[in-house]
Amino acid sequence: MRRLKIVNNMSHLKTDKKKNIDLQINEKIVPIIRAIKSIERVIDDFATEQKDRIVSLEERTRDINKIAPSVINEEETSLKKCLKTEKVQR
């Protein structure tokens, strides 16, 4: 009978200890895990935003390059004409 009480008490001690450990984990570790997950979300959002900005810049660069060659050619032709007429006038 006494042995049964001792075993029963030890079982209660183990259960109490486990509950205490679970409580401490929930109080201390879980908030840290939540904070880390929150930081991960912020980093993911930032990375997505940066990727979107890069894509936008690449698109604008392509658009500028489509327009720019004709403008450059026109300016080049205009400069050549000016230089030719200037040489002729000298």
DSSP state letter for 90: -
pTM score of the predicted model: 0.51
Contacts of 19 (CB under 8 A, 6+ apart): none
Neighbours of 67 (CB within 10 A): 9
- Residue 19: per-residue pLDDT: 93
d(CA 65, CA 58): 10
Q: Which pLDDT belongs to residue 89?
A: 59
pLDDT of 46 reads 98
Q: Which pLDDT does position 90 carry in this prediction?
A: 52
What would the pLDDT profile of 9-66 be if each residue is shown by its tens digit?
788 888 999 999 999 999 999 999 999 999 999 999 999 999 999 999 999 988 887 7
